[in-house]
């Protein structure tokens, strides 16, 4: 089993558990160049943010670092609260909880999102 298959297996387990809880989830996807976050509820995307957005790209020189992830975390929390979502389950998509994923989660918590 390669790294990608292992990550997807872990992600599947997490999504299954979150589906049982029937709560909104904050899902994160990262690539070498960018990081993406979405709040998903009832099978619909309620809010999304990424380093690919024009406003974020202007403010940051590099979209693939912890500073950029923190900006995305703050933006996703603000957008989720505007959509009426205050509490979510964190879905890290099988990625390890450190570095950019951790920076995004902590920034979202500081901005008022509960998980």
Domains assigned to the chain: 3-110 (3.30.420.100)
What is the share, in percent, of the chain residues with pLDDT greater than 70? 100
> 24 and 83 in contact (C-beta within 8 Å)?
no
Rg (CA), the chain: 14
Please give the Cα distance from 80 to 87 (Å, whole number). Answer: 9
pLDDT tens, residue by residue, 34-81: 999 999 998 899 999 999 999 999 989 888 899 999 999 999 999 999
Q: Residue 107 — pLDDT band, cuts 50, 70, 90? A: very high
What pLDDT sits at residue 15? 93
End-to-end CA distance of the chain: 31
Helix (H) or strand (E) holding 35: strand 35-41
């Amino acid at each position: 089993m390669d790294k990608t298959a292992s990550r997807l297996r872990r992600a599947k387990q997490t999504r299954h558990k979150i589906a049982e809880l029937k709560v909104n989830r904050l899902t994160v996807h990262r690539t070498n160049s960018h990081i993406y976050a979405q709040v998903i509820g009832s099978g619909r995307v309620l809010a999304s943010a990424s380093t690919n957005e024009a406003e974020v790209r202007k403010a940051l020189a590099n979209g693939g670092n912890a500073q950029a992830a923190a900006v995305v975390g703050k933006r996703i929390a603000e957008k989720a609260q505007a959509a009426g979502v205050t509490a979510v389950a964190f879905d890290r998509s099988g990625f390890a909880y450190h570095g950019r994923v951790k920076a995004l989660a902590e920034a979202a918590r500081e901005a008022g999102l509960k998980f």
